[in-house]
Structure 1
Amino acid sequence: MTTTSLTGTSAVKAPSTDAAALTGKRRIAFASFVDENYLPGFLVLLRSLALSNPSVCEDFVVLYDDLKPGSIAQIRALHPRIVMRRVDADHYDSYQKGDQDNYLVRKAYFILDVFKIREYDTIITLDTDMVVLSSLSELLELREGLAAVPQFFYGQHKLNSGLLVIQKEYLSDEFCARLDRCGRSGDYELDKHDQGILNSVLNGDFVRLDPRYNFVKRRLSGDLPVPEDTAILHFTGRHKPWQGGEAGYSQAEERWREFELSDPEFHAAYMESSGGLHHDLLVHYGTPHVARTGNVEVARKLAAAHIGNGDYQDAVDVLSSVHIPLDEAWPHEVFGHALMSVSRYEEAKAQLLLATAAPNRAATAYARLAQMAWVHGNNAEALTHATAGIAVDPTHRSSRLWAQRAASVPAQEQGAPEDQLAHVAFYMDRQGNAGDKLLPESVRSAFGPDTTSRRWHSVHAHRLFDKAALERVNRRRGLVIGGGGLFIPDTMPNGNSAWQWNVPDELMAGIDVPIAVFAVGFNAFDGQSYRANRFGESLRLLVEKSSFFGLRNHGSIEKVRAMVPAHLHDKIRFQPCPTTVTRQLVPGWQDPAKRDDTILINAAYDRAGLRFGHDYAYFLAQMAQAVRDLGELAEVQCVAHSLDDEKIVFDLRREHGISMPVIPMYDFENKEILDLYARTKLVIGMRGHAGMIPFGVGTPIISLISHPKMAYFLRDIERPEWGVSVHDRHLAARLVECSKDLLADHNKTVADVHGRQQELWKATEANAADLRVILGG
C-alpha cells in the first residue's frame, strides 16, 4: 500500500500503525507449562487468579507438549485469553540431567521455553501447583530485571523458579544461548533442573521479591495456618493437593480447595467478586451464567461491560434474553442506555421511563431521556427531562449538562443558504474539551477568514440527521465534515453510522451537494476497535459520496484504507488538522515578541485504563520527578483542556507532595487558548490538541504518548523524537533531557517548528486549490 507524503505522493510503504508499538504500552502475559498430570492443579490456578485478581486479564501462555483436545477445551473455558504454545521438547534432550530417563525430570525443563517468547514485554511464570490468594498488582507493575523469591532453604543467593517475573531483555536469543550452554555443559545443580540452570546463569543477579509471592508449603510444616498476606501459595514437593495431599498441611490444602469449583460455582463466585471486574473475564464467565440462570443482576453487569467496551448490540442482546421485573430500575436504565446506543430510541425511552421510578437511578435515567430528546432536536422535552434529573439530584453533572444544552439558544444565521457551506462537527459546550471547542472555528478558517453564520450553517454531529436536516444541507452550496477524531465508536454512540455523525445511510445517500471530509481522524485507542459492520458500511458510503476525503494523519489514512475497497484508496488523502497551521490561517497573526518563562503540562484521563494499563502509579511517580527537574528550567504549570485533566495535580500533591498551578483552559475562549499557547516556551501534552494547537502557533512541543494519534502526528512532521511514551522506562529522564534540548537554543527550536509547519501548510494549500473547484468560493 502506498501513501501520501507531507506534500504529495510517495511510493514508500508507510511504517506500521500497530497501536502497541506506537504507544509503547507494555504487553504483559502469564505463562505456565501444563501437562495432563498437572492439569487439575492448573485449572485451580486459573480459577484462583481470576477470583483473587478480578480486574486483571492478560494473555495466559500455556506451554504444553501432550495435552488432549478436551483438556485444552477445559483450559479455554476458564480464561478468555489463552495462548497455546507447544514446547520444543527435543531441544532439551541435549541438556545434562541427573536422571535422563525420569519422566518428570525431562518435563521440568520445558518451562524454559518461555524465554523464547518475543511477543511480550513482561511475562510472569507460575507453576501449576500454585494457588493465587491475593492481589498481584505489585508484580504487574515491575519493569526491571528478572524477579523471583529467594529459596526458602538456601538464603538470598538462589531463586525459587516457581514464580518468575521476566522483563523483555531476558526474552532474547542471547539469554537463551546462555541457558543452553549451561544446560549442555551440566555445570549446574542437576537435581534442581530448570531452577538449577537459572541459578547458575544468574549467579544471584535477580530482583528479590517478598516471600509472600511464592510462599512454599514447607514454611507451614506442622499444619500452620496460611499467613493472611500470602499472595501465592506454592505446593512444592511430591504430594499435590489434587493427588490426595500430605499429612501436616491440612490448613494450606483447605485454601487450595476453595478454588476446586464446578464451572457454575466458579462463574457465580466471580460475578460476586468485590472491586472492579475485568471486561473480558466478566463476559467470559457472565455469558454462560446468564444463559444458564437468567440472573437479571448478572445480566445488568454483563450489559454494562459490553457498553463500556463499545459492544452495544451485545448489551441489547443479553438484556433482551432475561425477564426484567418492572421494579428493577437499574437493569431498565442500562437496557435503555444500550438501546439508545444502537438508535432504537422508542424502546430505549420506555426502559428509561421505567428506571425513573427508583430514586437512586432516576437522575441518570432522566439525563439519558434528555440526551435522546436533544438528539432528536426536541429542546423543550430535553429541558423537561434534565430539570427532572436535577430535581432528583441537584449535583447530577450529566443532567446539568443536558439542561444547559437544551436551554441554549442557537445564534441567528445571518447568511443566505446559497452562500453558505454546511458544517458537520462536534460543537463543544462551555467547560468542555478546549481542543474540541476550538476545532470548528479552526476548520472554517481553512476555507476563508469568515467563520460566522454568514458563511456557515452548523450541523451538530451528535444530533440525528433527519429529513429536515437533509433539506437544510441540500439548500447550501456544499457540506464540510470535520475536524477532529470523528471516527471513534464510543463518545456518542449511535446505530445509524456507528461513528460520531448520527446519519442513516439513506439520508447520507440523499445529499446532493458536494461533500468534503476535512481533517478527520481515526481515533480508536490501543485496545479499542470497531466491531460493528455498520461502521464499515457507513464509512464506505461516505468515501464514495465525498468529492474530497482528507484525513489528518497518515496513520488514519492507513486505517481507513484497510476498511474500504481498494478502488476507493486513492480518494483518501492527507489533510493536516488546521490547528497545526494556525499561524497561516489567522488573519494578521503576529508571533509573540516575548514568551512567558513557563512549561505547560497536560495529562488526559478519559479511558484511563486504555491509556495507562498497569502503569499509572509509575507514570505519576515519573511525572513527579520530571516536574521537580523541569522546575529548574522554567515555571511548570498544568494546563487542563477539560475538568478531568486536573486529576494529575491532585494525584501529584496527594502521592508525591508536588504542587502545580492549574490553568482552566476549558473556560477559555478560542483566542485565549491560542494566546496562552503562543506565549509559553514549551508544552508537554497528552491530548492530541495539547500538541497540535501549540505547534500550530509556533510553540515547541513534547507529546506524552498514550494514544496512537500522537505518534501519527509526530511521524508526519518527521519529529518522532518529540514524543515519549507514558510507559517509557525512563520517562522522567527523557522528558527532562528532551526539554533541555528544545530550550537550549529556543529560537532555533521555534524555527524548526515553523519549518515543519510550512510542510503541512503546503499540503493544506494544495488541497485548498482542489476544494475551491469542488465547493466554489
Structure 2
Amino acid sequence: MTTTTLTATQAPVTDAAALTGKRRIAFASYVDENYLPGFLVLLRSLALSNPTVCEDFVVLYDDLRPGSIAKIRALHPRIVLKRVNDTHYDAYKKGDQDNYLVRKAYFILDVFRLREYDTVITLDTDMVVLGDLGELLKLREGLAAVPQFFYGQHKLNSGLLVIQREYLSEEFCAKLDATGRSGDYELDKHDQGILNAVLDGDFVRLDPRYNFVKRRLSGDLPVPEDTAILHFTGRHKPWQGGESGYSLAEEKWREYELSDADFHAEYLGKSGGLHHDLIVHYGTPHVARTGDVETARKVAAAHIASGDYQDAVDILESVRIPLDEAWPHEVLGHALMSVSRTAEAKAQLLLATAAPNRAATAYARLAQMSWVQGDNAAALKYATAGMSVDITHRSSRLWAQRATSVPAQELGAPEDQLAHVAFYMDRQGNAGDKLLPESVRSAFGPDTGSRRWHPVHAHRLFDEAALERVNARRGMVIGGGGLFIPDTMPNGNSAWQWNVPDELMRRIDVPIAVYAVGFNAFDGQSYRASRFRDSLRLLVEKSAFFGLRNHGSIEKVRAMVPAHLHDKIRFQPCPTTVTRQLVPGWQDPARREDTILINAAYDRAGLRFGHDYGYFLAQMAQAVRELGELAEVQCVAHSLDDEKLVFDLRREHGVSMPVIPMYDFENDEIRDLYARTKLVIGMRGHAGMIPFGCGTPIISLISHPKMAYFLHDIDRPEWGISVHDRHLAARLVERSKDLLRDHAATVADVHGRQQELWKITEANAADLRVLLGG
C-alpha cells in the first residue's frame, strides 16, 4: 500500500494566525508597586467603558509582588506578563541618573521589543478610560498619539500610543537606543523625549479626547462629555490624595475605585453586548459569591459560545434554578444536550417551554435532540409546537423539514454497498456542503446513488441499529467536509461532528476509510476537551485509510495523536478540487460569461474579521467598483447569510450588485455556474475548491486557515489575500487583472495544478480498491 505524506523537503504549513493575517492587538502598560493602584483602576475603567473589548494586556514590570500580580490577573483574563530588561536603559543618558522614578520612566520603551502583535496600544497607569476606544482599535497605519497640550502639534504625549507592527522592530529599537545613549533629546522628558527626537513630528495625530490631560481642567473645570481617556499627568496622583483644583476630574477616577464584588456586579449588570471572556472571568467568582442565577445563565451562554459545553453545565448546576426561570433552564438544556446528557437536557428544556418568550427555542432544541436520537415522530411534534408559538421560527421549521424528509429508497443489496458518513445538507443550506457527499462518492465510481451507497448522517447518534446496518455493508467511508470542528453540532460522544460513542466505533468490523476530511477550527478556536483527542485517536487506529484534505489538517491531527500513528495520516485532496476528472462526460465550457463572482462568509464573524469588518467592507466597495470595469461583478451566496455582503455594501457605500442564490441550486447547477464564469473571489473554502475543480481561476479571501492550506497545497499562495490586508482592494484588483490578462494561460495553470491533485487521488484510489473492493 502506498502512503502519501509530507516529505522531508516540504515546508510545514505555518500557524493559523500567520495564514489568516488576522491582526493581533494588545494593550500594554509599565506597572510597578507605586503605580499599581492606578493600574487597577485603569483595568476596571477599560472593561466598564468598553465592555465588548478583550484583547491581550501586556504588563511590563520589574518589581511586582505575587500578590499584586494576583490582583491584576483578577481584573483581566488575558494578562501577559513581560519582565523588562531594566539594565538595558542604564546606558541611556538621563537628566537625573539617581532618581529611581526617572530610571523607570524609560521601561515602557520595552513595548517596542514586542514581536507577537500587529497593533499595540500603550496606556499610562495614571489614566482612566471613560469612553469608547473602538476607533483606536481600527487604526492600521503609523504610530498614533495625541499632540502635547503645551507644545503644539509637533510633539506627542507618550501617555497613549497606538503602535503598528513596523515600529515593533529591531530597526526602530536601534533608533531609540542610539538616541537614548547619545543624550540628544530633551532629558527631562525621558521616554517621551526620546520618541519625539526619533519621530521628529512624524506621527498620526489623534483627537485630544484620547489623551485628555488634567492640566486642561485647571480650576475645577468639568471633564468634557466626549473624553475617552483622562490622563492625570503631574506629580499628584488620585490614589495619593490628588491635587487641589481638579476635584471634578478626580471624581471621575474614583468612580472606578471599586471592590471586586462591586466591579463584577457593575460589569455584569450592563445592558447590551458583553465580551464572552469577560463575562466568564467576572461572572464565575460572582456566581460563587452570590449564587445569582441570571449571572450563571450569562456565564453558561458565554461558555457555549466558545465551545466549552461542560463548563456551561458545571456553572448552571452550581446554582438552584427556580422552576419558573425559563431562560436558565433552556441554556442548561442546551449545554446538557451538547455533552449528550439527553434525558437531563429534555427535562430542562421542557421546563423552559412554559415561558412564551423561550418556548419556541426550547421546542426547537427538543426537536433537534429527538432527531439526533433517531425519533422523527417526536422531532416533528416538538418542531410543530415551536412553530405554533412562533410561526416564523426558522430553527423549528428546519427540524420539521428534517423530521418529515423521506429517505431515498435503497435499491442495492447491503453487501454491495458502502456506508457513507457525511453531513447531508438541507435544502437552502450551504451549497458547498450540499455538493460534498456526492463529490466524495464520485471518487469511488460513477454511481453515487442508493444502489451503491447507504447514507449515515454524521449528526445523528450512531446507535446499535446504525452499527448493525453499517456492519452489513462492505465498508464505510467517512467524508464530506470539515468534520473536525467542535461547534457545528456538538455532542459528548466524540466532540466532533460524527456523533459516535467509542464503544460502537470499536465494534465496526468493516474497513473504514476516512476520505478528504478537514480540520476546520478557526483561528482563535480550539478543542479544549480530551474527549475529541481520544475519539480521534481511536478513529485513526480503526481506519484502514485515513486521508485529510490538506497538509494543514494533517499537521493539526498528527499533533493530537501518538507518533506511531502519524504515517497512517495521508493527503487526500477534497474531491471537489478534481471535479473535471470525476464527473462523467465532463466538458469544459466552449465560452465563459463575462462575470466575476464574489462570495463572502459571515458565520463566526468575530473570528473571521475581528475589529476589521468596517475596513473590509470599505475595501470591498472600492474593489467591486474597480472590478466592474473588468467584468460584471455578482455576489454568489452559498448560504442565506452570505447575502449580508450585498446589503452592507449598498447601505454603507452605495454599491450594488446582483445576488445569485446558490443555496437553492442543484449540484449540477452549482458546477455549471462555476465552470462558466471567468473568476471566482471567495471566502468560503468551497467557494475556492469547487470553481477550481471546475477549471475556473480563483482568488481566496482568507479569513480561515483552510483557505491558505489549500493554496499552499497547490503551490499558489499568491491566489490568496487576507481580509485584513492593509491594501486589500488594490491587491485584489491587481491580482484579478493578472489572472484575467491572459485568461487561457491562467485556466491552463489551474488545470495543471488540478492534475497534480488528481495524481494523488488516483494513487489513493488504487489503495482503496484493494481495501474496499469495487
- Which band: TM-score by shorter chain? over 0.9
What residue number does 2:344 align with?
347
Code of the residue aligned with 1:395 in structure 2: it is T
Instruction: Give, in angstroms, the shift of residue 104 of structure 1.
Output: 1.3
Deviation of the 1:14 alpha carbon: 3.4
1:444 has 2:451 as partner: no
Deviations 1:539-564 (A, max 9, x none): 01100100000000000001001111
Cα deviation for residue 180 of structure 1 reads 1.1
Which residue of structure 2 aligns with residue 222 of structure 1? 219
Q: 1:359 & 1:668 partners in 2: Cα distance?
A: 36
- RMSD of equivalent CA atoms: 1.1
What is the CA-CA distance between 1:110 and the residue it aligns to? Answer: 0.8
SS at match of 1:11: coil
Tell me, yes or no, if the aligned pair for 1:7 and 1:760 is still in contact at 8 Å: no
CA offsets 1:542-593 (integer angstroms, 9 cap, x no match): 0010000000000000100111111111110000000000000000000000
The residue that corresponds to 1:268 in the other structure is: 265
Q: Does 1:238 align with 2:224?
A: no
Counterpart code for 1:704:
L
Cα distance in structure 1, aligned partners of 2:242 and 2:468? 77
CA gap of 1:5–1:710, structure 2 versus 1, over 3 A, is: farther
Q: Distance in 2 between matches of 1:532 and 1:244?
A: 49
Query: Are residues 16 and 594 of structure 1, via their aligned partners in 2, closer, same or farther at CA, if it must alter by over 3 Å?
Result: closer
Amino acid at match of 2:609: F
Residue 161 of structure 2 corresponds to residue 147 of structure 1: no
Partners of 2:136 and 2:6 in 1: how far apart?
Answer: 47
Report if aligned partners of 2:5, 2:567 keep a CA contact under 8 Å in 1.
no
**Contact 1:480 1:515 (8 Å CA) reproduced:** yes
Out of 226, 240, 255, the position equivalent to 2:252 is 255
Instruction: Tell me the secondary structure at the aligned position of residue 161 of structure 1.
Output: strand
Match of 1:488 in 2: 485
Q: Deviations over 1:580-611 (max 9, x none)?
A: 00000000000000001000000000000000
Question: Equivalents in 1 of 2:388, 2:13: separation in Å?
Answer: 52
State yes or no: 1:399 paired with 2:396.
Answer: yes
Contact 2:4 2:570 in 1 (8 A): no
Q: 1:585 aligns to what?
A: 582
1:536 corresponds to which residue? Answer: 533
CA contact (8 A) 2:61 2:81 kept: yes
Is residue 119 of structure 1 aligned with residue 136 of structure 2? no
Which residue is equivalent to 1:415?
412
Counterparts of 1:764 and 1:13, CA distance in 2 = 19
Moved more, 88-97 or 572-581: 88-97
Query: Is 1:739 aligned to 2:739, yes or no?
Result: no
Name the structure 2 match of 1:477. 474
Match of 2:458 among 461, 469, 494: 461
Contact 1:682–1:700 (CA<8 Å) still a contact in 2? yes
**How far is the alpha carbon of 1:282 from its aligned partner?**
1.1
Q: CA deviation at 1:13?
A: 5.1
- Does 661-670 or 282-291 show the bigger shift? 282-291
Alignment match, 2:625 = 628
Give the superposition deviation at 1:5: 13
Aligned partners of 2:753 and 2:678: how far apart in 1?
Answer: 17
Rounded to whole Å, the distance in 2 between the matches of 1:529 and 1:117 is 25
Tell me the matched-pair count.
Answer: 774
Task: State the shift of 1:281 in Å.
Answer: 1.2
- Evaluate the alpha carbon distance shift between residue 5 and residue 85 of structure 1 in structure 2; reply closer, same or farther with a 3 A threshold: farther
The equivalent residue for 1:162 is: 159
* Equivalent residue number for residue 109 of structure 1: 106
For the structure 1 residues 42 and 239, does the alpha-carbon distance in structure 2 shift closer, same or farther, using more than 3 Å as the test? same
Tell me, in whole angstroms, the C-alpha distance in 2 between the residues paired with 1:614 and 1:250: 36
Instruction: Name stretches of at least 5 consecutive residues in structure 2 with no aligned partner.
Output: none
Judge which range, 637-646 or 84-93, deviates more: 84-93
Contact 1:299 1:319 in 2 (8 A): yes
Which residue matches 2:205?
Answer: 208
How far does residue 12 in structure 1 lie from its aligned partner after superposition? 2.3
SS of the residue aligned with 2:162?
A: strand
Name the CA distance, whole Å, in 1 between partners of 2:420 and 2:115.
48
Q: Is residue 603 of structure 2 the alignment partner of residue 606 of structure 1?
A: yes
Deviation at 1:158, TM superposition (A): 0.6
Counterpart code for 1:393: D
Change (3 A) 1:770 1:411: same
Give me the whole-angstrom Cα distance separating, in 2, the residues matched to 1:373 and 1:7. 41
1:71-150 superposed matches below 5 A: 71-150=68-147
Question: In 2, Cα distance between the equivalents of 1:444 and 1:145?
Answer: 52
Partners of 2:96 and 2:466 in 1: how far apart?
81
Q: Distance in 2 between matches of 1:80 and 1:658?
A: 40
Secondary structure of 2:23's partner? coil
The offset of 1:103, in angstroms, is 1.8
Measured against aligned partners, the alpha-carbon deviations of 1:444-495 in whole angstroms (never above 9, x if no partner) come to 0000000000000000000000000000000000000002000000000000
Whether the 8 Å contact between 2:478 and 2:512 is mirrored in structure 1 is yes
The answer to whether the 8 Å contact 1:576/1:760 transfers is: yes
State the distance in 1 between where 2:67 and 2:718 align: 50
- Residue type of the alignment partner of 2:401: Q
SS at match of 1:281: helix
* Secondary structure of the structure 2 residue equivalent to 1:10: coil
Letter of the aligned partner of 1:184 in structure 2? Answer: R
**Aligned-residue offset at 1:387:** 0.6
Query: Deviation per CA, 1:221-255, whole angstroms, max 9, x where unpaired?
Result: 11111111111000011110000111111111111
**C-alpha displacement at 1:432, in angstroms?**
0.1
Map 1:549-568 → 2, pairs under 5 A: 549-568=546-565
Letter in 2 for 1:265: D
Tell me the amino acid that sits aligned with residue 232 of structure 1.
Answer: I
Equivalent residue for 1:70? 67
**Match in the other structure for 1:34:** 31
CA distance in 1, matches of 2:70, 2:298: 26
Q: Aligned partner of 2:420: which letter?
A: H
Is 7-16 or 715-724 further displaced after alignment?
7-16
Map residues 657-736 of structure 1 onto 2, 5 A cutoff.
657-736=654-733
Q: 2:648 matched to 1:655?
A: no
Question: What is the CA–CA distance in structure 1 between the aligned matches of 2:621 and 2:602, rounded to whole Å?
Answer: 17
Shift in alpha-carbon separation, 1:592–1:7, aligned structure 2, 3 A: farther
1:9 Cα deviation after fit: 5.3
- AA aligned to 1:698 is G
What residue in structure 1 maps to residue 288 of structure 2? 291
Q: TM-score, normalised by structure 1?
A: 0.99
Gaps of 5+ in 1: none
Matches within 5 A, 1:191-202: 191-202=188-199
Q: CA deviation at 1:6?
A: 11
Q: Quick check: 1:514 aligned with 2:511?
A: yes
Which of the residues 10, 18, 23 maps onto 2:7?
Answer: 10
2: distance between equivalents of 1:16 and 1:581? 22
Instruction: State the 1:7 CA deviation.
Output: 6.4
- Larger CA deviation: 353-362 vs 59-68: 59-68
Distance 1:266 1:678, change over 3 A: same
Q: CA deviation at 1:273?
A: 1.9
Instruction: Please state how far the C-alpha of 1:303 moved relative to its aligned partner.
Output: 0.2
With normalisation by structure 2, the TM-score equals: 0.99
Contact kept in structure 2, 1:57 and 1:280, CA below 8 Å: yes
- CA offset digits 1:687-706 (Å, max 9, x no partner): 00000000000000000000
Comparing 267-276 with 197-206, greater Cα deviation is found at 267-276
**Aligned partners of 1:7 and 1:639: how far apart in 2?**
35
Offset of residue 276 of structure 1? 1.6
Matched to 2:574, the amino acid is: C
Calculate percent identity across the aligned residue pairs.
87
Cα 1:6/1:127, change in 2 over 3 Å:
farther
- Give the alignment partner of residue 337 of structure 1, picking from 334, 338, 357: 334
